[in-house]
Chain A
Amino acid sequence: MSEAKTSLPVANGRVVRTAARRSRVIEFKVDGEIVPAWIGDTLLVAVLSHRGALSIHEFDGEPRAGFCLMGACQDCWVWLEDGTRLRACTTPVEPGLAVCTRPPTDGLCHA
């Protein structure tokens, strides 16, 4: 793979990037914590570069981190603070996005 021209702070997440990006580094929030990502990342890659999981499943209470990764299984849902639900594997990250790993109440994440 190509040599990285830009580098993010070493991330200890589940997914591993193998290709450099020419796009802009931005910041977004996961459960209130500000973390970096690249324009062009899906939310799944943006979150899982820093975390081991995307969400806590509402029925079994266990962590989930996506399964089909192509928009079919809906296992990668995350939420915005206003309650909007997003499919992380197909949604691009945007600067300033505030992602919650559980459904928020009263506009607040429950980390």
Chain B
Amino acid sequence: MHKVVIVGAGPAGFAAAELLHVNGLIPTLVDEAATAGGQIYRRPAPDIELDMRRLLGRGHRRYQRFHARAGHLLAQIDYRPQTTAWAIFADRVWTLRDQIIEQVPFDALVLATGATDRTVPIPGWTLPGVVTLGGAQALLKGQGALIGRRVVFCGSSPLLYLAAKQFLAAGATVGAILDTTPFAAKVAAAPDLLRAPEVFADGLKSMARVRGAGVPIHHGVRLESFEGDGEVSAVRYLDRKGRAKSVDCDAVAFGFGLKPEAQLADLAGVPFRYDPTFRQWLPATDGDGRAGRRTYLAGDGCMIGGAQAAEISGSLAAAALLQDAGTPTHGIDRSALRRRLARLHRFQHGLSRAFTWPAGTLAGASDSLPICRCESVTAGEIRRAVGSVLGPIDINRVKALTRVGMGRCQGRFCALPAAELVAAAAARPLEAVGRLRGQAPVKPLPPTARVRDRS
């Protein structure tokens, strides 16, 4: 019996489970959420009368199809919701559910762990009311709740426009959209964006809808600070001509694209490579998802590509796994999927130029700016540590000296900005300062957790 464990029940993990099941396996599907879907197909909690058709618009068709398929498949496999995978060790996934720790052995592992928002520290970013762009959407889709009454969406991401459209549909006031990438960059990226014409058209429609609702949209701004006393009350920014402006709000959703949740891949021993387009270290695969001994990766947890790419890569990873296990594979046309995936990745490259990560802004950040939210480590402390490191400058040494990345989020939100800051302070290229190594547990464990009695 070939025992396969899949981590993550979003579009990638689900597609992998589906193909394995079609080919006669009963995979174990571990997912932290109460219902399958990942972030993209997140479902409202039971008993909430949220009109998802209205909220999702054209995206509702895919949402509905996913949950119809999930309803069918999940009863036929070993599906474990509300279960956190917190380590990979000795060919076992270590999980936590209801205070119980369990080891799940595997012959093959598929990691489809998804992504979180990529944010950059901005003065005031710890104020109540300031949340990630994905978080604002998660609260709306999962709980039917808005992060505030008058919301400013800022950063640089196509999701700024999609989220703003959803908030308008839910009755919020959108104070402004402040996009830090100039409009000209979007025009320049258009040829790549046309590789996925439908997605591109949806994006343009969201933008037009938001503008049509009278929401001010500013491109090419520089975010200066989130202002407020005990809670956010305004966003200060420089417009594209460098003029100081401010917009009032009671909530802010911000983000600069996504970054893979690659901690478990790291613990599984997957090699990482530096990607200059995304300015991140990403887990390396052979293109079909093979990522070293017994391990396969799929979806945004490996390479940011969006829901369609996630689904395709989940199928490809499962097909690679079956092939490696010597099982003839049914129900998949691999070359067609590879071509579609390549197109979607070209599109993603276009997005990364149309919505850029503000790499340079941290070099000029004030010493008092908190970089690590968990441990309150400031830019100044990181710069001082860079000055005191003996030997090669490496982000892990800076972590040891300052505790940046050592807090309860395990570096999820500070690792990339801290690396940018260290590289700038040491006058080294970003890839030369390394990356924060993953550590178990990848999510905090309660001290009261017990190991399951295996008798």
Contacts and interface: CB of A to CB of B under 8 A. Distances in A.
A65 B448 CA distance: 25
B204 interface: no
A99 to B, nearest CB: 16
Given A68-B117, A70-B39, A72-B116, A22 B47 contact: yes
Contact of B139 (A2, A15, A71, A85): A15
A16 B146 contact: yes
A73 B413 contact: yes
What class of interface size applies to chain B in its complex with A?
Answer: 35 or more
A19 B373 contact: no
Nearest to A85: B446
Contacts of A44: 139
A69 interface: yes
Interface in B43-58: 44-51, 54
B220 interface: no
A104 to B, nearest CB: 15
Contacts of B373: 67, 73, 75
Contacts of A5: 49
A1 B51 contact: yes
Contact of A67 (B48, B131, B140): B131
B49 A67 contact: no
Interface in B381-437: 407-409, 412-413
A57 B376 contact: yes
A66 interface: yes
Given A1-B170, A40-B48, A45 B143 contact: yes
B206 interface: no
B408 A63 contact: no
B132 A68 contact: yes
Contacts of A84: 446, 448
A44 B50 CA distance: 18
Interface string A19-51: 111110000000000000011111011000100
Given A52-B231, A59-B376, A72-B409, A64 B128 contact: yes
A5 B116 CA distance: 35
Interface string B106-117: 000000000011
A84 B129 CA distance: 25
Given A16-B145, A42-B143, A72-B261, A64 B48 contact: no
B250 to A, nearest CB: 8
B148 A14 contact: yes
B135 A66 contact: yes
Contacts of B203: none
B50 A19 contact: yes
Interface in B117-160: 117, 126-132, 134-136, 138-140, 142-149
Contacts of A17: 143-146
A39 B138 contact: no
A68 B49 contact: no
Contacts of B50: 1-2, 18-19
Contacts of B147: 14-15, 69
Contacts of B413: 67-68, 72-73
A15 B146 contact: yes
B115 to A, nearest CB: 10
B376 A63 contact: no
Contacts of A63: 128, 230-231
A72 B114 CA distance: 11
Interface string B240-267: 0000000000110000000001000000
B32 interface: yes
Nearest to A49: B145
A70 B126 contact: no
A49 to B, nearest CB: 8
Interface in A57-98: 57, 59-60, 62-75, 77, 84-85, 90, 92
Contact of B135 (A1, A21, A49, A68): A68
Given A15-B146, A63-B230, A72 B412 contact: yes
A62 B448 CA distance: 28
Interface string B153-184: 00000000000000000111000000000000
B49 A2 contact: yes
A39 B443 CA distance: 26
A53 interface: yes
Given A14-B147, A17-B144, A52 B230 contact: yes
Given A19-B48, A68-B134, A74-B374, 19 more contacts: A14-B129, A14-B231, A14-B250, A16-B148, A17-B146, A20-B49, A23-B46, A39-B47, A40-B47, A42-B142, A44-B139, A53-B231, A57-B126, A64-B126, A67-B135, A70-B132, A70-B134, A74-B408, A85-B446
Interface of B: 32-33, 39, 44-51, 54, 116-117, 126-132, 134-136, 138-140, 142-149, 170-172, 230-231, 250-251, 261, 370, 373-376, 407-409, 412-413, 443-444, 446, 448
